[in-house]
């Protein structure tokens, strides 16, 4: 077993290939880019508790070495972070196929997963970690920005100016929330147990300062809110304890949410009433006791959130499954507040809209700027997208290979993919562009506590859709495709699929892009039309999507 490298992993830049073709090179660079932007690269952990890019370092090196040798008619098969085989396929087939943390449904529990992981037989891939398309915190930034913008429209007259939000966690994705609240004009207090995580977010500019006294933090928050100043304040502490104390003192908040890694009660969430060091010791020495204490803390925290809702705050679950954990531990009112997808995002999913992203493999910032310009002129009439790209271009630091994320829908993605391929073909860009999306997308996920919570027809837990989505993307020539268990909400609670496409300027890429970037968001339109959402049915009709049962 080879150990971790001495220096952090960095994705190659430039146009010199380390592999036998750009599709292979995309997998190669994006795997490394995942580790370049990772929360804890030494442990191969990219984000979200223990979401990993590869099973162990030996697996990582073997993946890299195999990609270097992989021919353009071969496919590498990766089983939960370990490269297990290479097969001769054909040039339209994906270069890599990945399956992460999939378990037979009856055994699909965190406890069983932990046993298998301890034996070295599986790996938790989260969503974008094990499918090699993470782009750092910017991967969630527009979704978070739009979520708070929608909250502002729904409840606060269109702005968060003068409003205070309290949230938990400052990790990879949780850490972007204060920044998004600030972009919406609001003040936030983010409670994080690990000072190093806070420091990292301060360095990235996503939070303004760290305080250790919650009351002092609240006084500062109130002071800023009264003056209409936007501010992102971090408090060192445990969310369960701090929120409980705030509630007891009658501290007022306008919005209450949480994004600690509560989907994983062993490796993600830290129980209250102890220091981080004590928690890390207990995690190792007595994992069952740790899980019991973590669940009890989740109950206290969710109880406080429900009480805040009763007192008039806007409260929502931001995708970490904390309601389910509290419910399982006996708190039966845990689902009294909604999840964010049902509250804010579903209308977008109905029209095939979701978090599309593109990554400039050359590493050149100028490539990103040129692609942003083209995106802005092509989608000038899409106000939300255009505003976002302008805002992100100005305020979002580049992490890893230059990348941009923007919510695009059915039709738009295929158009944009072709334009990017044209730009590579004409030499306007220094190198090829990879395109991807979160698994948290319109047609690629079944997650009853999140993306498919309270579907109109009750089909929340039907997991055929993401599997069909993955198979369709394979059939249409995706560069690589992944299916996963448990992303976002934890093992057993979600099935989802990811894809990556490469625009390398060839005619073959153009044909693959046109098909994949049509069926991928299209499968979201179909999924929502099938569930009875009118806007999805209308779009299926107007776009000529053939759905035999609807007669379209
Ligand atoms: P992360 O593991 O990088 O960060 C979580 C942070 O929470 C860590 O810094 C950890 O120290 C802190 N933490 C844990 N328990 C705490 C407690 N009790 N009090 C205070 N701090 C505590 O994870 P992430 O990438 O930031 O994701 C956070 C959660 O959000 C995960 O559950 C993930 O699955 C979910 N997620 C949601 C979305 C979405 O779109 N809503 C997207 C990605 C991830």
Residue in this structure with the two tokens 């249409």, named with its chain if needed = 476
| CA–CA dist 150, 163 (Å, integer) | 14
Which residue, judged by its Cα, is nearest atom 4 of ligand 1? 171
- Nearest to residue 23, comparing CAs of 77, 96, 129, 78? 96
Q: C-alpha angle with apex 494: 489 to 495, nearest 5 degrees? A: 145
Burial zone of 249 (CB within 10 Å; 0-12 exposed, 13-18 middle, 19+ buried)? exposed
212: CA distance to ligand 1 center in Å?
Answer: 20
Which residue, judged by its Cα, is nearest atom 27 of ligand 1? 48
E strands along 304-353, which residues?
314-315
Tell me, using a 6 A CB cutoff, whether residue 193 lines ligand 1.
yes
| CA–CA dist 32, 480 (Å, integer) | 15
Tell me, using a 6 A CB cutoff, whether residue 124 lines ligand 1.
no
294: CA distance to ligand 1 center in Å?
Answer: 14
What is the separation of C-alpha 399 from the centre of its chain, rounded to a whole number of angstroms?
A: 15
Tell me, using a 6 A CB cutoff, whether residue 176 lines ligand 1.
no
pLDDT score of 31: 98
Which residue, judged by its Cα, is nearest atom 36 of ligand 1? 488
Say what the pTM is: 0.94
Please give the structure tokens belonging to residue 339.
Answer: 């999840």
Tell me, using a 6 A CB cutoff, whether residue 48 lines ligand 1.
yes
Query: Residues 141, 163: contact at Cβ < 8 Å?
Result: no
Burial zone of 458 (CB within 10 Å; 0-12 exposed, 13-18 middle, 19+ buried)? exposed
Tell me, using a 6 A CB cutoff, whether residue 486 lines ligand 1.
no
Tell me, using a 6 A CB cutoff, whether residue 235 lines ligand 1.
no
Tell me, using a 6 A CB cutoff, whether residue 261 lines ligand 1.
yes
The closest-lying atom of ligand 1 relative to the alpha carbon of residue 173 is 26
Please give the structure tokens belonging to residue 316.
Answer: 């929502």
Average pLDDT per consecutive 10 residues, the chain (552 residues; last block may be shorter):
96 98 98 98 97 98 98 99 98 98 98 97 98 93 90 92 98 95 96 98 96 98 98 98 98 98 97 98 97 98 98 97 98 97 92 97 98 97 92 91 96 98 98 97 98 98 98 98 98 98 98 98 98 98 96 88
82-88 and 74-79 strand pairing:
antiparallel
447: CA distance to ligand 1 center in Å?
Answer: 17
pLDDT score of 137: 87
The closest-lying atom of ligand 1 relative to the alpha carbon of residue 143 is 40
| CA–CA dist 480, 493 (Å, integer) | 24
The closest-lying atom of ligand 1 relative to the alpha carbon of residue 242 is 19
The closest-lying atom of ligand 1 relative to the alpha carbon of residue 340 is 41
| CA–CA dist 254, 245 (Å, integer) | 16
pLDDT score of 154: 87
Mutation to probe ligand 1, out of 171, 245, 293 (largest number of atoms < 8 A from CB): 171
Rg of the Cα trace of the chain? 22
C-alpha separations of 95 from 7, 131, 139, 526 in Å: 28, 13, 23, 27
Q: How many CA atoms lie within 13 A of 414 on its CB side?
A: 15
510: CA distance to ligand 1 center in Å?
Answer: 37
Query: Residues 465, 527: contact at Cβ < 8 Å?
Result: yes
Q: C-alpha angle with apex 210: 315 to 228, nearest 5 degrees? A: 60
Tell me, using a 6 A CB cutoff, whether residue 351 lines ligand 1.
no
């Amino acid at each position: 077993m080879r150990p971790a490298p001495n220096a952090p992993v960095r994705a190659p830049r430039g146009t010199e290939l380390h592999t036998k073709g750009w599709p292979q090179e995309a997998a190669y660079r994006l795997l490394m880019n995942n580790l370049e932007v990772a929360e804890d690269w030494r442990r191969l952990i990219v984000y979200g508790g223990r979401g990993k890019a590869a099973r162990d370092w030996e697996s990582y090196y073997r993946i890299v070495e195999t990609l270097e040798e992989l021919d353009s008619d071969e496919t590498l098969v990766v089983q939960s972070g370990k490269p297990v085989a290479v097969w001769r396929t054909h040039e339209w087939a994906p270069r890599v196929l990945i399956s992460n943390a999939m378990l037979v449904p009856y055994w699909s529990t965190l406890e069983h997963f932990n046993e298998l992981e301890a034996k070295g037989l599986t790996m938790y891939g989260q969503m974008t970690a094990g499918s090699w398309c993470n782009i750092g915190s910017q991967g969630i930034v527009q979704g978070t920005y739009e979520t708070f913008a929608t909250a502002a429209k729904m409840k606060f007259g269109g702005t968060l100016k003068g409003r205070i939000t309290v949230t938990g966690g400052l990790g990879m994705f949780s850490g972007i929330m204060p920044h998004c609240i600030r972009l919406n004009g609001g003040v936030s207090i983010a409670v994080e147990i690990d000072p190093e995580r806070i420091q990292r977010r301060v360095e990235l500019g996503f939070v303004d300062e760290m305080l250790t006294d919650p009351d002092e933090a609240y006084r500062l928050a109130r002071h800023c809110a009264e003056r209409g100043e936007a501010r992102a304040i971090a408090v060192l502490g445990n969310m369960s304890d701090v929120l409980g104390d705030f509630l007891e003192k009658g501290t007022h908040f306008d919005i209450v949410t949480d994004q600690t890694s509560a989907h994983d009660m062993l490796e993600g969430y830290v129980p209250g009433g102890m220091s981080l060091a004590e928690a890390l010791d207990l995690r190792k020495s007595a994992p069952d006791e740790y899980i019991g204490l973590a669940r009890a803390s989740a109950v206290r925290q969710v109880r406080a959130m429900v009480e805040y809702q009763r007192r008039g705050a806007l409260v929502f679950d931001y995708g970490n499954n904390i309601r389910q954990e509290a419910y399982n531990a006996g708190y039966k009112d845990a689902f009294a507040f909604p999840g964010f997808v049902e509250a804010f995002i579903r209308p977008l999913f109905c029209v095939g809209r979701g978090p599309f992203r593109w990554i400039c493999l050359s590493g050149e910032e100028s490539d990103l700027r040129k692609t942003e310009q083209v995106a802005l002129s092509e989608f000038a009439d899409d106000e939300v997208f255009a505003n976002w790209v302008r805002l992100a271009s100005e305020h979002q630091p580049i992490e890893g290979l230059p990348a941009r994320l923007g919510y695009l829908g059915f039709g738009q993605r295929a158009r944009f993919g072709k334009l990017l391929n044209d730009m590579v073909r004409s030499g306007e860009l220094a190198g090829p562009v990879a395109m991807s999306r979160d698994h948290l997308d319109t047609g690629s996920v079944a997650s009853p506590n999140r993306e498919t919570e309270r579907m109109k027809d009750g089909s929340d837990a039907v997991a055929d859709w993401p599997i069909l989505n993955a198979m369709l993307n394979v059939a249409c020539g995706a560069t690589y495709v992944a299916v996963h268990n448990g992303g976002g909400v934890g093992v057993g609670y979600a099935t989802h699929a990811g894809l990556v496409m490469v625009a390398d300027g060839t005619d073959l890429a153009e044909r693959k892009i046109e098909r994949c970037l049509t069926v991928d968001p299209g499968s979201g339109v179909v999924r929502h039309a099938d569930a009875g959402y009118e806007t999805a049915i209308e779009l299926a009709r107007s776009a000529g999507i053939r759905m035999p049962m609807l007669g379209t």
